[in-house]
Structure 1
Amino acid sequence: MNNQYEKISVNKDQVLEKLEKAVAELANITIPDDIPHGDMPGDKVEIGDSHRAKAKTIFPQLVKELKTAMNSNPYARAVVAVCGGSGVGKSEIASCLSYLLNSAGIGSYTMSGDNYPHRIPMYNDAERLHTFRVAGIRAMVDAGVMNSENYAKVKEWQIAEDDANKAHAETDTWFSSYLEGGKKALNDYLGTPKETDFEEVDSIMKAFKDGAKDLFLKRMGRDEASLWYDQVDMSNTQVLIVEWTHGNSDYMSQVDVPVLLNSTPQETLEHRRSRNRDGKLDSPFTMMVLELEQQKLVDQAHKAKVIITKAGELISYDDFKKLYGMN
């Protein structure tokens, strides 16, 4: 992919000098409501005071990490990943960070990782549910609890879209096999190459860090006719910010500064509800997805260079581990 791109020329010393001044100018920068945001078609981004405050809290630490990454890159470029649970405010905070960098004269572009699943949202949601249900039914067979009576109950719960409800296993203990089998298969799908083209995202990041003047970036809407690529001018861009739940994934190798926005699945659900992004936000299946994604974020947190809590406090990884009762 890199070979198709024309390379930029850059005054590295000048870029690093601007980076040095960026924090000093922070107090003088006001982040307006209407600023450029990520490139996911139709994404609803509303900048609030909490997003501004968190971005300004993150910024000095981000600049510190960028100095190291950009100094070691021949084009003075770096990739930042703003990651966290669904609905935690990644789009808003990434947009604010990008605005702060641009205001300091350091070109920044915000890219949405949600453009890179293999399937458009409605089909990916369906694939997630199908994966869960097929594995759940198979697990019932393996556990020796598949019979017409139990199947009738499962079908009833499936029709009601309540078949990920843990409460059913309290009264029908055999149902735990369905839940456990389905959850394992769902976990093996979420945030993996089965769901997302990580290879393409990684190659875009590498092309950027290798000095590409332009990048072809994917756009994925919510229907089959909304899928295309835009050629984006990167000639004056030094920082590529990727806002994405899976921005700190082990399937990517080109992220220089992972920034983790920490929150619980319950907190992210409330934010998703306020944005009205999806239907049935509080369904048991949606909660299961959020919980599994949260666990992946926890497992990957040791790589984060910056961690900020829902309350807006910067914490170390050791502090993060204490929050989750980890040794």
Structure 2
Amino acid sequence: MNTNYNRISEVSDAVMEKLEAAAEKVASVSIPSDIPHGDMPGDKIEIGDSHTAKAKTIFPKLVDELKKTIGSNKYGRAVVAVCGGSGVGKSEIASCLSFLLEQAGIGSYTMSGDNYPHRIPMYNDAERLHVFRESGIRAMVDAGVMSQEHMEVLKKWQIAEDDANKAHAETDTWFKSYLEGGSKGLNDYLGTPKETDFEEVDQIMKAFKDGADKLYLKRMGRDEASLWYDEVDMSSKQVLIVEWTHGNSDYMSQVDIPVLLNSTPQETLEHRRSRNRDGKLDSPFTTMVLELEQQKLVDQAHKAKIIITKAGELINYDEFKKLYNMD
């Protein structure tokens, strides 16, 4: 028993020394564009200068946090969550951070939280829409505005995938109850155990911190036949990085260091516009989903150990609150 404890202590001491050296040398490390990335099947990432720059900005602060966390774990391990909204660069920056750790001789694995919804993407998208529409129609009944005439109008908007468009409430006042009820129902689904198996993710992180030499990790593709588990060797890993919108969720208890890649709603919208080659904007429903997810990120931000802006500036929580005019 003492021999095992001594071995673990020696591993932890060695990791601490490597972390110290890594933080000092990070500026001179070159990050190639073809580095290993997360474990989401079919996930394609393109690492650019902005991603590497942000990773190098985050890294020294991450090292400070890792030294505290690894030092308090008897196996010399830590779980890092890289979270943020759509298009903020979670996969890319998490991969860069993992690469920097590996280059310093600190074993790191990048895991995608997008493998853990209860439904494959196609069915989960359909469930989100169903929840929104069912909740909206129930709200119309409760508000006393249900009628055949209103339903005929609503049906046309639904067919056109325009039934989450806030502009309709300006001309059709009854629509407000549908919109508010649908939004509330959707919010109660997004990023909750109804949508995602947070318990499984938490168990994986706990097993890692408890010294597991191997883990069975879920893989979720785009169809029902693309669902399986891989056995992953963790014997040489000290850091598990989880890249995921919901990485800072209250439904998990095993994340040691949440890293928030912040992007204001305006910045997110501009980014998505720039990525659409045909100039087509998101549907009103997709916009609603993004807005609700963004609010959840804002509500959870107080737990983040590291916050970086889209411009690449490290900020504290007080500075974050000023961005959102929070008291």
TM-score (norm 2): 0.94
1:27 Cα offset (Å): 2.0
Is 1:163 the counterpart of 2:200? The answer is no
Aligned-partner SS, 1:260: strand
Q: Which runs of 5+ in 2 are unaligned?
A: 1-7
| Matches of 2:300 and 2:202, distance apart in 1 | 17
| Matches of 1:54 and 1:41, distance apart in 2 | 25
Aligned match of 1:5: none
Q: Which runs of 5+ in 1 are unaligned?
A: 1-7
Aligned match of 2:64: 64
| Matches of 1:160 and 1:95, distance apart in 2 | 39
Is 1:205 the counterpart of 2:213? The answer is no
Q: How many residues align?
A: 317
For 1:126, give the aligned amino acid. A
1:28 Cα offset (Å): 2.1
| Matches of 2:24 and 2:236, distance apart in 1 | 22
Whether the 8 Å contact between 1:265 and 1:287 is mirrored in structure 2 is no
For 2:111, give the aligned amino acid. M
- Cα–Cα, structure 1 residues 92 and 214, in superposed 2: closer, same or farther, change >3 Å? same
In the TM superposition, 1:206-245 aligns within 5 A as: 206-245=206-245
1:309 Cα offset (Å): 0.4
User: Which 4+ stretches in 1 moved above 4 angstroms?
Assistant: 269-276
In the TM superposition, 1:124-163 aligns within 5 A as: 124-163=124-163
For 2:309, give the aligned amino acid. T
Whether the 8 Å contact between 1:140 and 1:178 is mirrored in structure 2 is yes
For 1:40, give the aligned amino acid. M
For 2:119, give the aligned amino acid. R
| Matches of 2:238 and 2:12, distance apart in 1 | 10
Aligned-partner SS, 1:291: helix
Aligned-partner SS, 2:24: coil
1:10 Cα offset (Å): 6.4
In the TM superposition, 1:283-302 aligns within 5 A as: 283-302=283-302
Aligned match of 1:120: 120
1:272 Cα offset (Å): 5.0
Whether the 8 Å contact between 2:189 and 2:195 is mirrored in structure 1 is yes
Aligned match of 1:19: 19
| Matches of 1:292 and 1:59, distance apart in 2 | 29
Percent identity at matched positions? 83
For 1:215, give the aligned amino acid. L
1:267 Cα offset (Å): 2.9
Deviations 1:32-82 (A, max 9, x none): 000000100011100000000000000000000000000000011000000
Aligned-partner SS, 2:119: coil
For 1:54, give the aligned amino acid. K
Aligned match of 2:5: none
| Matches of 1:281 and 1:229, distance apart in 2 | 36
1:265 Cα offset (Å): 3.2
